[in-house]
Amino acid sequence: MRKRLTLLLAFIATVLGLTGVVPAHMAAAAEVLLSQGKPVTASSQEGDAWAAANAVDGNAGTRWSSAFADPATADSQWIRVDLGTTTTISRVVLQWEGAFGKAYQIQTSSDGSAWTTILARSNGAGGTETLDVSGSGRYVRVNGVQRGTGYGYSLWEFQVFGETTPTTPPTTPTTPDTFTTIWTDTFDGAANTSPSTANWLKRTGTQYPGGAANWGTGSVETASDSTANVYLDGAGKLNLKAIRGGDGKWTSGRIETQRSDFTPNRGEQLKFTAVIKQPSVANGLGYWPGFRATGAAYRGNFTNWPGVGETDIMTDVNGRGQLAQTLHCGTAPDGVCAEYTGRSSGFATCEGCQSGYHEYTQVIDRTKTDEEIRFYLDGRQTWVVRESQVGVAAWQAAVHHGFYLRFDLAIGGSLPNAVNNGRTTPTAETTSGGVLSIDSVTVARSTGTTATAMIDPAVPAGPSIVKVTGSQGNWQLTVNGTPWQVKGMTYGPPQGAADGYMRDLANMGVNTIRIWGPDANTPLLLDTAARYGIKVVVGLWLNHGTDYVNDTAYKNAVKAEIVAKVNELKGRQGVLLWDVGNEVILEMQNYGLAADVVEARRVAYAKFVNEVTEAIHAADPNHPVTSTDAYTHAWTYYKPHAPALDLLAVNSYGAIDTVKRDWIAGGYTKPYILTEGGPAGEWEVPNDVNGVPNEPSDLAKKAGYTYSWNAIKGHPGVALGATLFHYGLENDFGGVWLNTTTGGWRRLGYHAVREAYTGQKAPNTSPEITAMTVGNQTSVPAGGTFSVTVTANDPQGDLIRYHLMASDKHITANRGLSHLAFSQTGQGSFSVRAPEALGVWKIYVYAYDGHGNVGIEQRSFRVVPPAVPGIDLSRGKPVTASSYQPTGTNGPQLPAYAVDGDYGTRWASEWTDTAWLQVDLGSVQSFNRVRLAWEAAYATGYTVQTSNDGSNWSTIHTTTAGDGGFDELTVAGSGRYVRVNGTGRATGWGYSLYEFGVYRV
């Protein structure tokens, strides 16, 4: 008798279209999409990046564009799809990019030569056009008659719908999009026996043969082949169990399929599925369960990761009950897969994944031009990575080969430590005996269509010829003689990883990116950008704070460096213009200089910019030069002192409305570009209820990008375009505020820019968070719990999963984020454990949709000391210490500050490994609670001791796993003297306590 759970999950997945073979008569019951992935041809294409196959690849982020250079033929362009056999057609959907067809025909043909028009349209308006038609044919084409713009025709998607049963049935009926099992294991066998050696290879030890120690991840377990760690349970489950021995060392299990030939062939989909229950223990710090697929070539060469390709189909850490799914590829660190993180979904809620079995699935889909790997949880898509996101070379190296599957239950290592906010795992409190339980694992294959393979366009020969043309108020940029409106983004990913981002930027409608300075990989960046019709504003850095009046040596050296760099790069087609310096004039006010000195340096800087500009012109007459600053007042220096500049530039966010007014009022005679812009920045918004800058909502930021672009369009002939801020990957304080691709996920701002530049809404957009509340926002007890609620919806109805992070930037100036401990109590409702550091924090709620999009909303909250737990026996009592720091923000950091009840003062020891602080309660007292409120210099190891005479001590508490913040210790103590004795520092400083409280509760 087979397990009911497996059958039930298989049934659910079948209903959702993920697994199982669907009978042919069921598949033919309704109108379906016929054109996706089918052979397609076109009369022309604008370039290799806009091939005809893009219009039928199912990816609304890629497009076909026809050529338009020759006005005589630009209107009469066409695209056609071959359905493979004569089929009845009922509907055609055209998803136009900005270059739409005003007049066109939908035609069918049985032979590709003689055409029948089944619909003629003369008033096309672009956007998404859904056209009901009636006809039949093997070939269907869109035949252009009249363009709607000065460009060609451009389609994100050309979709043909009709009956699934062809007019001429094939000899052997086929079932589209079905999977046939090619390998499986259901783990039937006697209890406490090993899994089949024919199917499974058990790894042992702490490393692969010849590989890095600790499995290359820093995990601390020893993999064992003992049935104590790897065993069948007798009820159709395989269990991997992590056990801590009496010596404190961990053993666990790591198994791989013997087969490594699970290969995703072209024209097919390959699916890996496992039904798994994540470990469930009281304290899961350090637990790292995984279900992965690894490139076969990793065996025998355990140093070729991540290029060989690996996917995390299921992983969680630290017993959080979450799920992250990832493609690892390319080079590390960084590279096109953003290693060591990889192209990852990020951790997000996985409800019930520790309490029950769930189905985790990965599908490698090679039926599309833009091949993709999709990930699922119980049949709902949770992540996707496409070839266009990593580049052809890295994708082929990571995907086009055999794989083997692996299950492991690691303990500790780089990822658990990172998600534990940099603190080492496991700890002494980590629970032993957790089990990763696998109900079944299956590999299945589906045969589909063979689409045109994605290729890299050729690098166009350089140099580009860029000019500022026109006259006062009627200027334009031209590139190789063609008008060029800058539709740009500032660029943040590694320049050497450009192949992983340029296709996406081009699909956003971006034709220009801006960098702040070149590095060794800038030639590669320029060439990769040029492949996709993108130009680069190349920044040439000038130092802030330099004395441009007197520092002749610096000026001579940097000018020579700049000219050398211009000579190195000027011959590449990717160059748009040179941008000398960034925000130097404004920043001169921040160095404590007298006003007259600042003024003199600003004038000298503008003159030096002019000197550099003239040197660049002499070296490169083919590209204009500008200089960027953070406000238009800088233009008042450039106008008299830098006449050689070809155009002006400014970074402006919330003040974008002032730019046009200031240009007019200043009587300027040169055009400008916006080199940074977007929603209001931290420096431009009012404070919130907790006294910190009130960050705009995700929806407000989206509107900010649209508003900025409209402001630029509202100054035609003068504002020549914009590079909006920012196409960056940072998932930190600033990255959430101003990145459109935070963490590699598409934000609402991304879609706003895409719509602004292409004129089209994206078919799948980010979840929208319309409300957010934080319980007790101005007074959250340190280490306590508080509630967070958001109202979120996904425009396409996709599954939303959540994650919560926090920022202490307003306390420490650190811009990184930390993972919060939380539980989901309802849809969009969470119970959150507060941090223990006092001050104003920010909390971020991430709402992921499984399609590469995320909505992020945030609020501030103030962490305050928790309530006094009882009678305070130590407040104001005499206190001594082994030492104290003689200097600090308020003078010496005296021992008495630790018992004054003021969390704004602190005791700090000298910077030694051992130190103590002792309070005299005045008489022998019984107590049952001790509070240690640590400053940043906390103890990882310490003891709490009591004494009746100050000489003979008894230890009532010991730890080697201190984590700072507030330590609330339940003890059984009695004595006149109580002391905390530091034995292990967490930092390079000494020990520092805001408060040392002794209580009777």
Nearest to 608 by CA among 662, 658, 657, 547: 547
Q: What is the pLDDT of residue 164?
A: 55
Among the ranges given (36-50, 271-285, 521-535, 614-628), the one the predictor scored with the smallest mean pLDDT = 36-50
- Give dist(CA 173, CA 151) in Å, integer: 43
Tokens of 746: 């598409």
- Give dist(CA 23, CA 664) in Å, integer: 70
Count of other CB atoms within 10 angstroms of residue 904: 10
Q: What is the pLDDT of residue 165?
A: 43
Q: Do 514 and 621 lie in a common domain?
A: yes
Q: What is the pLDDT of residue 114?
A: 85
**Is 985 in contact with 991 (CB distance < 8 Å)?**
yes
Phi then psi dihedrals of residue 563, to 5 deg: -60, -40
Q: Do 734 and 823 lie in a common domain?
A: no
Count of other CB atoms within 10 angstroms of residue 625: 25
Listed in sequence order, the residues at least 6 apart from 824 whose beta carbon sits closer than 8 Å to its beta carbon are 349, 351, 802, 830
CATH number of the domain to which 674 belongs: 3.20.20.80
Which residues on neighbouring strands pair with residue 830, listed in sequence order? 788, 824
Tokens of 642: 């830098």
Mean pLDDT computed over 432-450: 97
Q: Do 624 and 724 lie in a common domain?
A: yes
Mean pLDDT computed over 242-269: 98
Residue 15 lies in a domain: no
Q: Do 860 and 960 lie in a common domain?
A: no
Mean pLDDT computed over 433-459: 97
Beta strands 116-121 and 250-252: pairing type?
A: unpaired
Phi then psi dihedrals of residue 640, to 5 deg: -85, -25
Whether 169 shows a pLDDT value over 60: the answer reads no
Q: What is the pLDDT of residue 823?
A: 96
The distance of Cα 710 from the centroid of its chain, to the nearest Å, equals: 28
Mean pLDDT computed over 172-200: 84
Dump pLDDT digits (tens) for 692-713: 999 999 999 999 999 999 999 9
* Own/partner long-range contacts of 6-12 (Cβ < 8 Å, ≥24 apart): 6/186, 6/236, 6/275, 6/439, 6/440, 9/275, 9/357, 9/358, 9/359, 9/378, 12/359, 12/378, 12/379
Whether 581 shows a pLDDT value over 50: the answer reads yes
Q: What is the pLDDT of residue 57?
A: 87
Record the pTM.
Answer: 0.83
Residue 790 lies in a domain: yes
Nearest to 956 by CA among 968, 938, 974: 974
Q: What is the pLDDT of residue 174?
A: 32
CA distances from 648 to 590, 603, 608, 672, 769 (A): 23, 16, 15, 4, 38
H or E stretch covering 701: helix 698-713
Q: What is the pLDDT of residue 171?
A: 31
At 921, the pLDDT band (50, 70, 90 cuts) reads very high
**Is 422 in contact with 415 (CB distance < 8 Å)?**
no
Whether 380 shows a pLDDT value over 50: the answer reads yes
Q: What is the pLDDT of residue 172?
A: 31
Q: Do 795 and 915 lie in a common domain?
A: no
Out of 864, 886, 911, a domain closes at 864
Count of other CB atoms within 10 angstroms of residue 258: 12
Tokens of 481: 């003689």
**Is 128 in contact with 93 (CB distance < 8 Å)?**
yes
Dump pLDDT digits (tens) for 467-523: 999 999 999 999 999 999 999 999 999 999 999 999 999 999 999 999 999 999 999
Which burial class, exposed, middle or buried, applies to 119 when counting CB atoms under 10 A from its CB (0-12, 13-18, 19+)? middle
At 828, the pLDDT band (50, 70, 90 cuts) reads very high
The most distant pair of C-alpha atoms in the chain lies apart, rounded to whole Å, by 108
Q: Do 859 and 875 lie in a common domain?
A: no
Residue 215 lies in a domain: no
CATH number of the domain to which 970 belongs: 2.60.120.260
Dump pLDDT digits (tens) for 384-422: 999 999 999 999 999 999 999 999 999 999 999 999 999
Q: Do 923 and 972 lie in a common domain?
A: yes
Half-sphere exposure of 313 (CA within 13 A, CB side): 30
Listed in sequence order, the residues at least 6 apart from 536 whose beta carbon sits closer than 8 Å to its beta carbon are 491, 512, 513, 514, 515, 525, 526, 529, 574, 575, 576
The distance of Cα 719 from the centroid of its chain, to the nearest Å, equals: 32
Type of residue found at 125: A
Dump pLDDT digits (tens) for 288-324: 999 999 999 999 899 999 999 999 999 999 999 999 9
Residue 83 lies in a domain: yes
- Give dist(CA 62, CA 46) in Å, integer: 13
Mean pLDDT computed over 515-537: 98
Which burial class, exposed, middle or buried, applies to 336 when counting CB atoms under 10 A from its CB (0-12, 13-18, 19+)? buried
Q: Do 739 and 713 lie in a common domain?
A: yes
Q: What is the DSSP letter of 937?
A: S
Dump pLDDT digits (tens) for 861-917: 999 999 988 899 999 999 999 999 999 888 999 999 999 999 999 999 999 999 999
Residue 615 lies in a domain: yes
Nearest to 10 by CA among 442, 351, 349, 364: 442
Structural domain boundaries enclosing 728: 468-758
Beta strands 101-109 and 128-147: pairing type?
A: antiparallel
- Give dist(CA 631, CA 654) in Å, integer: 11
**Is 374 in contact with 363 (CB distance < 8 Å)?**
yes
Which residues on neighbouring strands pair with residue 966, listed in sequence order? 933
Residue 167 lies in a domain: no
Helix-, strand-, coil-residue percentages of the chain, each rounded to 5: 20, 40, 45
Dump pLDDT digits (tens) for 663-688: 999 999 999 999 999 999 999 999 99
Tokens of 70: 């020759």
Whether 977 shows a pLDDT value over 80: the answer reads yes
Listed in sequence order, the residues at least 6 apart from 986 whose beta carbon sits closer than 8 Å to its beta carbon are 937, 938, 939, 940, 962, 964
Q: What is the pLDDT of residue 439?
A: 98
Among the ranges given (105-114, 162-171, 257-266, 327-336), the one the predictor scored with the smallest mean pLDDT = 162-171
Q: Do 441 and 488 lie in a common domain?
A: no
Whether 12 shows a pLDDT value over 60: the answer reads no
Q: What is the pLDDT of residue 344?
A: 99
- Give dist(CA 588, CA 152) in Å, integer: 48
Q: Where are the beta strands (DSSP E) in 664-709?
A: 672-676
- Give dist(CA 810, CA 788) in Å, integer: 20
Residue matched to tokens 């101003």: 738
Dump pLDDT digits (tens) for 752-785: 999 999 999 999 999 999 999 999 999 999 999 9
Please give the mean pLDDT across all residues of the chain. Answer: 94
Q: What is the pLDDT of residue 831?
A: 98
Type of residue found at 887: T
Domain tally, the chain: 5
Type of residue found at 583: E
CATH number of the domain to which 819 belongs: 2.60.40.10
Beta strands 648-651 and 625-629: pairing type?
A: parallel
Nearest to 279 by CA among 380, 426, 421: 426
At 13, the pLDDT band (50, 70, 90 cuts) reads very low
Out of 723, 758, 793, a domain closes at 758
- Give dist(CA 144, CA 96) in Å, integer: 13
Count of other CB atoms within 10 angstroms of residue 42: 24
Count of other CB atoms within 10 angstroms of residue 615: 18
**Is 932 in contact with 993 (CB distance < 8 Å)?**
yes
**Burial readout 381-412 (b: 16 or more C-beta within 10 A, e: otherwise):** bbbbbbbbbbbbebbbbbbbbebbbbbbbbbb
- Give dist(CA 936, CA 814) in Å, integer: 13
CATH number of the domain to which 354 belongs: 2.60.120.200
The distance of Cα 131 from the centroid of its chain, to the nearest Å, equals: 37
Q: Do 877 and 739 lie in a common domain?
A: no
Residue 245 lies in a domain: no
At 176, the pLDDT band (50, 70, 90 cuts) reads very low
Listed in sequence order, the residues at least 6 apart from 482 whose beta carbon sits closer than 8 Å to its beta carbon are none
Query: Which ranges of 146-300 does DSSP label H, i.e. alpha helix?
Result: none
Whether 6 shows a pLDDT value over 60: the answer reads no
Q: Do 394 and 360 lie in a common domain?
A: yes
Mean pLDDT computed over 164-191: 67
**Is 586 in contact with 629 (CB distance < 8 Å)?**
yes
- Give dist(CA 256, CA 377) in Å, integer: 22
Mean pLDDT computed over 642-665: 98
Residue 192 lies in a domain: no
Which three-class secondary structure state does DSSP give residue 195? Answer: coil
Determine what percent of the chain is predicted with pLDDT higher than 70: 96
Q: What is the pLDDT of residue 32?
A: 84
Type of residue found at 285: L
Which burial class, exposed, middle or buried, applies to 667 when counting CB atoms under 10 A from its CB (0-12, 13-18, 19+)? exposed
At 584, the pLDDT band (50, 70, 90 cuts) reads very high
Residue matched to tokens 């009249």: 146
Q: Do 503 and 430 lie in a common domain?
A: no
